[in-house]
Structures are given as C-alpha cells and as structure tokens.
Structure 1
Amino acid sequence: MKRNYYLAPVVVAAALALGIFMGGKLHFGDTPEKLFSTNSKKDKLNRLIDYIDYEYVDQVDTDSIVDVTVNNILDKLDPHSVYIPKEEMQRVSENMKGDFVGIGINFSMYRDTITVTRLIRGGPSERRGLRPGDRILLADGDTLYGRDLMNEDIVNRLKGQQGSEVVLTVYRKSEGRTFRVRLQRDRVPIRSIDAFYMLRPGLGYIRMNRFAESTFDEFNEALVSLSADGAQKLVLDLRDNPGGYLNVAEQIADAFLPGGRLILFTKNKKGQVEKTYATSRGGFEGKPVFVLINERSASASEIIAGALQDNDAGTIIGRRSFGKGLVQREMALGDGSAVRLTVSRYYTPTGRSIQRDYQNGTEDYYHDFVERFHNGELESVDSIRVSDSLKYVTPGGKVVYGGGGIIPDVFVPIGSNEEEALAALDARGYFSSFAFEHLEEDRTRYDAYGAEDFVRDFNTDDILFERAIDFLTRYNFRLDFYAYKDLLKRYVKAAIAEQLFSPDLKAEILAPADPMLQKVLELDSPTLRGGQEES
C-alpha cells in the first residue's frame, strides 16, 4: 500500500469521523460498572454514542458530538495531527494531487455575473478560445447571473466528470455579442510553481507555493527551461510555502546535492531510523543556489533549507522559518474522511530537530509563533533566541541551531507596516480586482503591448494611481498610500501584467521592490563573488 506523508502546517477543518466509532453492538442490559471496567476504550466510545442515539431524551446530531470529541483527542496529541471531514476530502485531495477536473478558468463575481479573470494554461477554456473578461451567463441552460451564488456552488456547477461536456452561454463585452461554446471537461493543473524567469543573465528564479504530487515535475520543467536560457545559478523562493509531501521535498533537495549526501532522517516512536540520501541524478548539483525563506515557510520548505544548509550547499536568505519537524501520514477512516496523524519526527543532516515546542498545547504553540512579531526577531537577527545545547556544526564548520525553525545564513528584516500591508493586499487579490476593473473599461488600449514592451514602456500614471487609492478605500483600507506611491504603482503595473500576460511577468515587475531578491543580487555581485563574504 502506498503511503503518502504530509508536512503541511495547517489546522484542517473541524472533527473526526463517526466511522472510527462504528462496529459495537448494543448491550443495554450491561451495568454501568461493567461498561466502564471491562470494555476497551473504543467500546466505551461506541457505547456512549449508541446510548445517545437511542436513549437520550432529545434528538441529537451525534456526528457533531463525535466531531467535538475527536477534535479534543487530536488536540491532546500535537498541533499537526488533523482530521479531514469527507466533505473536505475532494478539495484537499485535488490540492495535493496538483490537478482537478473542470473547464480551466479563474473567475470572480463581477457585479452580478461570473466573469473570467484568467485562463489556466492548456485548459479546456483556453483551447476553445475563451478570453479574460468573458461573462458566463448560462451553463447547460442554467442561469448563473443575477442571483446570490456562492463560489462553491459555481465551482460545483462548472466541474464534473472528466470527458463530460458543458455548454456555456457567454457574453463578450469587447465584441458586444453573446455566443455558445461547448467545452469538454478535462484535468486542469493546480500549479505549484507560481513563477519562473531569468532574474538576470545566468541567474534563474523559481517561486514554489507548496509540495504536491505534481510539484517535482513542474520544478524540473522550470529548471530545464531556465538552464536552456543560460541559468548557472538559481534562486528558489520558498517564502510562505507551508509544505506538502515529504518525498517531493526530498526529490527537490536531491536536485542540488551530490550523490551520497544525507538529505534528512526520520525517527518513529519505536526508535526506527530511516535515512534519505541524495542520488547522482540531480539536475543542479554543485551550482550556486539561494533559498528564500520567511516565518511562514514550513515543513517541506524547511527540509530543503536544512538539507542545503547542513551540507554547506547554497545560501539560505530571509528570516527564521516556522519550525515544524513532524511527519504525518494520511489514514482513511472508512466513511470518506481521513486523519493525518503524526507518525515520526524528521531531522536535518547534522541531527537537528527544528520542531518548536508544543507541550503547552496548540493555543500556546501558535501564540509563541505570533510572539515573533512582538519580540523583534523579524526586525533583527540578534533578537532570535537560540540555545547552546541545540548548537550543531556543519562539515564546513558553520554553526547552526535546532529547536524551532531554520535560521538563515543571511538575515533580511521584515518591511514596514505599510510595505507588509501592501504585500498582503496583493496576496489577497485586491490589486488583481482593481486591474480587472481597469481592463474591463477598455482592453484594446493594451493591444499594442507585447510582454517586453509592457515591462519596458508602461508606467502607472498618477490618474491610475489615484483610482487605485479610491478602489482600496472603498474597502475601508486606510494607509499612507502617498508615502509609498512608487511601490503601489508597481503593484498596479504587476497586476495588469499578470492578467494581460502571465504570473511570471508579474513576478519580474515586482522583483526590484523585493528586499530579499535585492539581497540575492547584492550577494551575487562581482565583488562578493571575488572572495568577500557577508555575515
């Protein structure tokens, strides 16, 4: 049986499945003393649920009781053992598998109509000629406008079995016409690689958002493309990457390490140790690599950072990572739900565990994480608390620490409140929404631009800047926008570029305003490459 291991630092949904309690027969003649003295713990829970189902004075949703009970059980274990209810399993499985069956669009409800904001590369909608800005009015004759539809309802209406067909009625504003198009649903990728491009000659860039089944193939495709463009060095951006499959992290770490190097080892409750070594098949072995991490980089991201750091390969840049050193395995519960249960700990090649302490419970565990924002460690490397008892030394003589995340080789402080707020607005899609509204007014004004022309020649003018402020204040955001005028203009330009061209172009436009990427360029400068070091 194939076992999938997960390393995602998220608290998933609410509750455990009734399936783990099924199987007991009712014996109402048994005395309470017998019930609680001779039955197994599982039988006690079976009996309790049965008593409530059959004997309790009021009707009770025992599923919800089980949910609460199991959440309490899991909460006593560790912060990363989680339950996935059956209604969540499809979405979670699709996210980790790396694809889903659908028509291949990103959409938003613009005013009262489903509007295509972006086409997924290679998806059914792109193949059939749909365009950003198209309004979907009907699906198989069912009206999809002018009513309060939840995004989940829309997704369920447009998704379906692979190979099944759906007929859409579409209004295209730019041509002033309505038409019908028949689409055959197909597998559509959920991309793990947000962007890849040449940061400058010889230096490639890849941004990865998670570690799903498809991630290594996507990574390889990006690496091959960048190598063909002359990349001899690489920036691997793992900021905000919460993790995923353990084996995928091992494969990606293998791409950078020479054969025979230890990537990590795991240890279970029986003390059994499993070691994973790099092979000689890596596509970027021995070449310079810069790994970007921050306080939201976790688990699989930390495996890669730790493996490279402990093997004196590459340079880790940014801020201390999340600190998750536990490995989960997904176990089906028989009713469509599952639990991801922690089954082992992992250790970096020098023997470090980077798992933060969770003995005081989940609430304290996450509160400790929030404390990083208040104790100054996001602003100064000197504020990071380390313990000499958790000091390790790499083969090259570098001192590293365990006990709660990967401390980078080169520290880059967090930005100002306004800079972080603008980045958050971008991550939550506000600049994308503004760009869409702007493009909807007249997309033809950008017809003359190619991607390179747009990067070189387009500038967000003051009129567009003021309109962006008006748009953001519509949502009650109150920032000192004028103090960060150039940065806000750059976000607007990047959002327009993403919708006109690609996420790669958006990332390229934002790079000059990214302190971590600027630190990479500084470290890779000719003077530093000539022998100087930075501490």
Structure 2
Amino acid sequence: MGIRKTYLPLIIGTAMAVGIFIGGKLNFSDTSDRLFTSNSKKQKLNRLIDYIDYEYVDDVNTDSIVDITVNGILETLDPHSVYIPKEDMERVSENMKGDFVGIGVHFYTYKDTVTVIRTVDDGPSAKAGILGGDRIIFADGDSLFGKYLDNLDIVHRLKGPINSKVHLKVFRKDTNQILDFDVARDVIPIRSVDASYMLTNTLGYIKVNRFAESTYREFKKALLELKAEGATEITLDLRDNPGGFLAVAEQIVDEFLEDEKLILFTKNKRGNIDKSFATEKGDFETGEVYVLINENSASASEIVAGALQDNDKGTIVGRRSYGKGLVQREMELGDGSAVRLTVSRYYTPTGRSIQRSYSDGNKDYYAEYLERLESGELLDSAKIIVADSLKFTTPKGKVVYGGGGIIPDVFVPFSTNEENETLWFLEDRGFINYFIFEELEKDRHVFDGHNREEFVETYEVSDDLVTKFQDYINARMAASISFLSHPAQVKLYLKAAIADQLFGKGAYTEVFINEDDMVKKVIALSEQH
C-alpha cells in the first residue's frame, strides 16, 4: 500500500491543473512598450467591454466578464496556463513562498465553531497557551462561530501584520471556561518536507510535498541531519507532489549530481535554449538515491526524477509520473490578479520531453488518468504504451522514453484490494479524520505525555475503537460496512489519523511507512546494493 493514496484520479488530475506549475525566471527580452503596444485585437476587446459598460440595457459586472474572457483565452492554449483572480493571489503566493503571518493553529470548523486541532510547535498560539480542542469564539470582538462561517473569512481574521496582536476569546471544553489570550502574530512556516528519518541503519528517507521557495532549505537541513545519523543512501519520496519552482528542483538535483552534469534544458518559442548544470556544492554526490514517484508526481518532481534517471544516478521506483513538461511564468495583470502562462518546454538531459499531448483539449487531457486505470497500466508495467520514436539512451546505455511522464526503473503496482479501496474512500471523504477528532474530544488528556516517536513505535489501536468507527460509519452511510475481516488495516488508518492530529503529517507518514509497498521495495533494493 502507499502513503495516503487516493482512488479518485480524475478529480486529482483536474485539481492539479490549477496547482501544478514550474516557475521560470522573469527575464523578458522584449520591453514592456513592445509587449503591450495597442493593436486592433486589443482595441476590439476594450471596445466590447466599453459598449457593455455604457450601452447594455442591464447593469452588468464587467469585471466578471473580463475574468470569463481571460479564462476562455487561456483554456484554448494548454492545460497549465491558468488565471489567478485577485482574491486567490494571497493564498497562492503564500503556498509557494512557504510561509505566512498568522497565529499558528490547525483547525476544523466543527459544529459551526472554530476548533483547534493542534498548535504549530513554538508558534504564537502555542506560546500563548492555546491547546488542541480549544474553541476560538471571538477574534478582536468579531464572532468566529455560526452556521454561515467561511474558512477563508476565518483565516483572514486571524492573519495580520507581523508582531500585531489579536485578542482571542477561547472556550476550553474540559474546564468549561472562557479564556482570554493576546496572541502576537508571527511568521508561520508551510512545511514542504513532511518527514525525514532513517529507514535502516544506512538508508534515510525524505518526503517532499511540493517545491516552494522554502523547500530547498528544508530539504538540505534534512539531508545533512540524515548524513550525520549515518545515511549513505537516501529515499526521496515525491509521490503526489504536484511541483512548483523549477529553480528549487535544480537545487535539489544538484545535491546528487557531480559538477557540470546537465540537469535539464528549456526551449522557448523563439528556439532559445537555456541549459542548467550541476555545481560542485552537492553533499550527496557519491551516495545512492532512490526516487519514489506515482501518477500524481508532476512538474518539478519529474525534473528531479528525469535528471537523475538520465544521468544514471540512482533508481526511480514506482509508477509512471504525471507527464508535464511545460514551464509557466507568473505575470501580474495590474489589478492584483495574475496569469501563469506557459513560456517554454523543458527537456531532460537526454533530450526527451515528457509532456503528454493536449491536442484533443483539456477534458481528454485529464481523462488520461481514467485511461491509465482502465488499461491496467497502474497494475502492470507491460501495459504502459511507449513509442519507439521517443526512445532515448542514457550515458550508460539505459533506454528511457519521452512522451508522457517518467517511467520508473522499478515498477510497483497500485494496490487495489477491497479493504484498502473502502478505507481510501472513507479517508478521502474526511470520515476518518472527523471520527478521530470526535474521539479525541472525549478526553484529550489520554495522550498527555506521549511523544511522537513513542506513539509511532508503541501505540496500538484497540478493538473497541474499531467497533466504534464501524458504528460511526454505518450511522452515516446508506450501505452497511463491516471491518471485522480486516481490522489490522483499519487500525493502521485510525492510528495514522491520530498521529496526524496530535503530531502532524510527518507522524502520519511514519505510521504507514512499514506497510508501504514502495518503501518495502526500496529497502529490498538497498539490501541488494
């Protein structure tokens, strides 16, 4: 089985269209005068908007018309050129920057009230004394409860300038008190490295969830710590990683490749080629590396996998990656909105493009996920369709293919047993997390004194909790579900959810790691090495 797999590839694929991009370097060769000179096409659009503004019989929000027009234009280009409305820019920018200014809490809107799941370690709320399970009911006098509560509005009220204070009124359930806190906002990191630890005495593991501005710093820190613990081999887990900044992917590849090795090259519409090479600063050039990928590893993840594969460095393990070989550049539109426009293609060191075809439109482009599922490719590597015209050879003679993702060196099939499908569905719909949250609400002090390492290694989910979960699910679904035939799998998912809510994503990953098929394969390969 895999770590937090999802059995809804079409939905994931559609979501990734918005989230995947590779940020290029803003370096226009043309001046703004030349790029934005007026012409008949632009005048036609401007005139139409003016006619609607001043002559149309009814009042119309022309801002929305412009948004629709921009989206319509971009949809005719490629699946990854996207429009970012003004209201989304802050959230999108924070995600790629890798931090934001806030109070440092993870929360659910639970029964119409903002309820803290856990505080960020050493964050403002933790320092102020806010605890998991606390209900934040007022922020600077504004209520944060009610059935029409919107998460974006909540986040907006809790954010603010660095060092500014927000006065919170908090209801603490286990003492039945309303408490007052003055919390000084601070920079809150959005972690890119979910987990890093040793799998064996010599094999380290690093899980990277995206390529943001802060990712390389986090990765480098984890890499050096693992080396200090004795790691001579590294497992780099890029499964379900939708990508991010090209430059960050280059920095990570540089840690593994020798000086002057080609990482990738890009080509724009004018045929200009920009090559990127490894430098002498790499700290893991002699160590063995295993890269884990799956059908949702895209963009910058594929740059890393392709660069290492084409340089005969390490082993790519998993399933064929997403297949995105386009580079986007974010360009502001002057009103707070922006577009991410495809400005070039990237190629792996052997010269292959791994971009899937989008000539039949966006709908068919995303339907390829279903085609992979229906063709059996996710279960059998022999079902992967390759074209001899897109065959390339690495320096050591290994055959690799372009035209739609990185094909791994070692294939690990998608697990489709019935119990896992049911549990993936329940997890994806939020049932498991909400159940665990409600169980923790009954008595959060049960886990007082547990640290993450001890919990992961020793905690065992009881049969009673499995029974409660089965009753919880059957009370909320039309069909009856029984977990009696596979309680061990249910316990694993419940334990992972508890770990996530108590200690964060890294603990979730650690709970699953010993049952992960790809990780098992890497450990076996390491033992043979």
TM exceeds 0.5? yes
Alpha-carbon offset, residue 187 of structure 1? 1.3
Q: 1:138-163: per-residue Cα shift (whole Å, max 9, x none)?
A: 21222223443111121111111222
**Whole-Å Cα distance in 1 between the matches of residues 429 and 282 of structure 2?**
36
| Match runs of 1:518-533 below 5 Å | 518-525=520-527, 528-529=528-529
**1:374 match: secondary structure:** helix
* Equivalence for 2:507: 505
Alpha-carbon offset, residue 429 of structure 1? 4.4
**Whole-Å Cα distance in 1 between the matches of residues 380 and 212 of structure 2?**
33
Contact 1:9 1:299 in 2 (8 A): no
TM-score when scaled to structure 2? 0.90
* Equivalence for 2:107: 107
Task: Give aligned pairs, total.
Answer: 496
* Equivalence for 2:272: 272
**Whole-Å Cα distance in 1 between the matches of residues 293 and 453 of structure 2?**
29
**Whole-Å Cα distance in 1 between the matches of residues 227 and 431 of structure 2?**
34
Alpha-carbon offset, residue 89 of structure 1? 0.6
Alpha-carbon offset, residue 68 of structure 1? 2.3
Contact 1:195 1:503 in 2 (8 A): yes
| Match runs of 1:107-506 below 5 Å | 107-416=107-416, 418-423=419-424, 425-426=426-427, 429-476=430-477, 481-506=483-508
Gaps of 5+ in 2: 1-14, 21-37
Alpha-carbon offset, residue 334 of structure 1? 0.5
Alpha-carbon offset, residue 213 of structure 1? 0.6
One-letter amino acid matched to 1:93: S
**1:11 match: secondary structure:** helix
**Whole-Å Cα distance in 2 between the matches of residues 252 and 347 of structure 1?**
17
**Whole-Å Cα distance in 2 between the matches of residues 344 and 477 of structure 1?**
50
**Whole-Å Cα distance in 2 between the matches of residues 448 and 61 of structure 1?**
57
Alpha-carbon offset, residue 480 of structure 1? 5.5
* Equivalence for 1:10: 17
Stretch deviating more after TM superposition (227-236 or 302-311): 227-236
TM-score when scaled to structure 1? 0.89
Alpha-carbon offset, residue 135 of structure 1? 1.6
Stretch deviating more after TM superposition (324-333 or 445-454): 445-454
Alpha-carbon offset, residue 242 of structure 1? 0.6
Stretch deviating more after TM superposition (334-343 or 460-469): 460-469
In structure 2, relative to structure 1, the CA distance for the partners of 1:505 and 1:468 (3 Å cut) is: same
Alpha-carbon offset, residue 9 of structure 1? 4.6
In structure 2, relative to structure 1, the CA distance for the partners of 1:221 and 1:424 (3 Å cut) is: farther
Alpha-carbon offset, residue 294 of structure 1? 0.5
In structure 2, relative to structure 1, the CA distance for the partners of 1:448 and 1:150 (3 Å cut) is: same
Gaps of 5+ in 1: 1-7, 14-37, 530-535
Contact 1:165 1:183 in 2 (8 A): yes
Alpha-carbon offset, residue 424 of structure 1? 5.2
Alpha-carbon RMSD across the aligned residues, in angstroms, is: 2.0
In structure 2, relative to structure 1, the CA distance for the partners of 1:388 and 1:174 (3 Å cut) is: same
Alpha-carbon offset, residue 391 of structure 1? 0.5
**Whole-Å Cα distance in 1 between the matches of residues 140 and 526 of structure 2?**
56
**Whole-Å Cα distance in 1 between the matches of residues 217 and 243 of structure 2?**
16
**1:200 match: secondary structure:** coil
Alpha-carbon offset, residue 458 of structure 1? 2.1
Stretch deviating more after TM superposition (376-385 or 411-420): 411-420
Alpha-carbon offset, residue 488 of structure 1? 1.3
Stretch deviating more after TM superposition (171-180 or 382-391): 171-180
Alpha-carbon offset, residue 414 of structure 1? 0.6
* Equivalence for 1:84: 84
Q: 1:357-409: per-residue Cα shift (whole Å, max 9, x none)?
A: 11111112112232111111001000000000000111111110000000001
In structure 2, relative to structure 1, the CA distance for the partners of 1:39 and 1:131 (3 Å cut) is: closer
One-letter amino acid matched to 1:334: G
**Whole-Å Cα distance in 2 between the matches of residues 428 and 122 of structure 1?**
31
**Whole-Å Cα distance in 2 between the matches of residues 186 and 254 of structure 1?**
32
**Whole-Å Cα distance in 1 between the matches of residues 180 and 102 of structure 2?**
18
Contact 2:107 2:118 in 1 (8 A): yes
**Whole-Å Cα distance in 2 between the matches of residues 443 and 46 of structure 1?**
60
**Whole-Å Cα distance in 2 between the matches of residues 484 and 413 of structure 1?**
21
Q: 1:318-358: per-residue Cα shift (whole Å, max 9, x none)?
A: 10000000000011110101111100000000001000011
Q: 1:201-260: per-residue Cα shift (whole Å, max 9, x none)?
A: 221111111111111111112112222222221111111111100100111111111111
**Whole-Å Cα distance in 2 between the matches of residues 192 and 427 of structure 1?**
21
**2:374 match: secondary structure:** coil
In structure 2, relative to structure 1, the CA distance for the partners of 1:69 and 1:502 (3 Å cut) is: closer
**Larger Rg: 1 or 2?**
1
Stretch deviating more after TM superposition (386-395 or 169-178): 169-178
**Whole-Å Cα distance in 2 between the matches of residues 475 and 326 of structure 1?**
43
**Whole-Å Cα distance in 2 between the matches of residues 471 and 233 of structure 1?**
43
**Whole-Å Cα distance in 1 between the matches of residues 100 and 322 of structure 2?**
29
One-letter amino acid matched to 1:447: D
In structure 2, relative to structure 1, the CA distance for the partners of 1:284 and 1:477 (3 Å cut) is: farther
**1:171 match: secondary structure:** strand
**Whole-Å Cα distance in 2 between the matches of residues 99 and 216 of structure 1?**
14
* Equivalence for 1:47: 47
**Whole-Å Cα distance in 2 between the matches of residues 152 and 295 of structure 1?**
30
**Whole-Å Cα distance in 2 between the matches of residues 400 and 475 of structure 1?**
48
Contact 2:124 2:183 in 1 (8 A): yes
Alpha-carbon offset, residue 109 of structure 1? 1.9
